[in-house]
Homo-oligomer: A and B are copies of this chain.
Amino acid sequence: MNNAFAKRLSFTSPLDDDDADVIDNLCSRDRRVAAKRYILRDGDQMLRFPIMLEGWAACYQIMRNGSRQITGLLLPGDALYFDSYPDCPAIEEIVALCPSVVAFASHEEMDRAIQSRPTIGRAMRNYGRIKNAVMATWIVNVGRRDALERMAHLICEAFARLAMIGEVDGNSFHFPLTQDDFADVLGLTPVHVNRKLQQLRHEGLIHLRSKEMTIIDRYALQQVAGFDETYLRPAREAPATEDTLLGI
């Protein structure tokens, strides 16, 4: 299984080879996107929905004064299915944060995949649930964690999410955010991101250089963050009846 989306889904609930093939076909129409290029513009009709196959992208909103808030990070294997609707204009923009490969899948094909393959339906439903949990956690981050905790939490989350699709190498992973991007994820200023990044370094928790992040002391980092990975975990093995599939 090479397809990142299939890997991501199969992490939430098991997929067989046929499922993986179906997913792979969904992703057949893909495109290379350079860093800083738009994957989706505000107001675009979402006739198709994006699936990240390689690279990172950010979903964001721009304020009147020009400041930006990133509302979600799309890592390899992430898709915008539930956030989009055929013929509905997008209300957020998405940019590639590094050179990426993005598939543009059709809603119809996905709907058909979900309906014809209950395991895919279950996996998608569960994937959607986890995405919601991630968003809720981001609200908690900006609302109630201070800058250091917030930063530590995001690093833990990124690690956990990348680990699901095998994109970590020990405790290291590719982390393409600039400090400006990082600030827009955390709701901070770039200057403050710099300060707190150094604090994490000085405290011996992480190492970050030329977009390569190494978590030196994972336990300590999770302690700082108050990170509990439960929210990212798949559902317990559900009694897989025909009825529990997401038939939308």
- A92 vs B236: C-alpha distance when bound (angstroms): 17
**Which residues in B have their C-beta under 8 angstroms from that of A142?**
139, 142-143, 187
Known: A67-B144, A125-B248. 11 other contacts (CB 8 A): A69-B144, A82-B129, A86-B238, A87-B236, A87-B239, A91-B133, A107-B243, A111-B243, A128-B128, A138-B139, A142-B142
**Which residues in B have their C-beta under 8 angstroms from that of A131?**
132
A114 at interface (Cβ–Cβ under 8 A)?
A: yes
A115 at interface (Cβ–Cβ under 8 A)?
A: yes
- A102 vs B87: C-alpha distance when bound (angstroms): 33
- Distance (whole angstroms) from the CB of A182 to the closest CB of chain B: 12
Question: Hey, what's the 0/1 contact readout for A17-30 against B, CB within 8 Å counting as 1?
Answer: 00000000000000
- Does the CB pair B136–A72 fall under 8 Å? yes
- A84 vs B246: C-alpha distance when bound (angstroms): 12
- Does the CB pair A129–B244 fall under 8 Å? no
- Distance (whole angstroms) from the CB of A52 to the closest CB of chain B: 17
- Interface size (A, Cβ < 8 Å)? 61
The residue that A129 contacts in the complex, of B71, B83, B108, B246, with Cβ under 8 A, is B83
A61 at interface (Cβ–Cβ under 8 A)?
A: yes
**Which residues in B have their C-beta under 8 angstroms from that of A122?**
248
The residue that A243 contacts in the complex, of B83, B108, B243, with Cβ under 8 A, is B108
**Which residues in B have their C-beta under 8 angstroms from that of A101?**
none
**Which residues in B have their C-beta under 8 angstroms from that of A226?**
63-64
Q: Given A88-B238, A142-B139, A226-B63, is A247 in contact with B69 using a C-beta cutoff of 8 Å?
A: no
**Which residues in B have their C-beta under 8 angstroms from that of A129?**
82-85, 88
A231 at interface (Cβ–Cβ under 8 A)?
A: yes
- Distance (whole angstroms) from the CB of A133 to the closest CB of chain B: 6
Q: Given A111-B243, A121-B248, is A238 in contact with B85 using a C-beta cutoff of 8 Å?
A: yes
- Distance (whole angstroms) from the CB of A78 to the closest CB of chain B: 13
- A138 vs B143: C-alpha distance when bound (angstroms): 10
A196 at interface (Cβ–Cβ under 8 A)?
A: no
